[in-house]
Amino acid sequence: MFKRLFWISLGVGIGVMAVTKAQAYVKAHTPEPARQFVFGPDEEQPPITLQTVQALFDDFQQHRRAREEQLNREFIERSAR
């Protein structure tokens, strides 16, 4: 179990590092219009990786709340019978 967890975390870490390095390379070696198209016009925004993780987390929270509400309604209906 711990071996598997170690290798998964190592893979995730290497993946994050590779994506970060690739983004830095693309930012350094692309013309300004292409860079703005890929990464957005505002450099003050959080990095695209952080935006993606935040969007995934928000999506997960939205679906979790919807499912929780559905289960609560079903439980209340069963209890009322």
What are the pLDDT digits (tens) for 7-39? 999 999 999 899 888 888 877 888 888 777 777
User: What does the chain look like in DSSP terms, one character per residue?
Assistant: -HHHHHHHHHHHHHHHHHHHHHHHHHHHHS-HHHHHHHH-S-TTSPPHHHHHHHHHHHHHHHHHHHHHHHHHHHHHHHHH-
Identify the pLDDT of residue 44. 63
**Res. 70 pLDDT band, cuts 50 70 90:** very high
**Res. 43 pLDDT band, cuts 50 70 90:** low
Residue 66 has pLDDT above 90, yes or no: yes
Residue that wins the pLDDT comparison between 45 and 27: 27
Mean pLDDT for 58-74 is 95
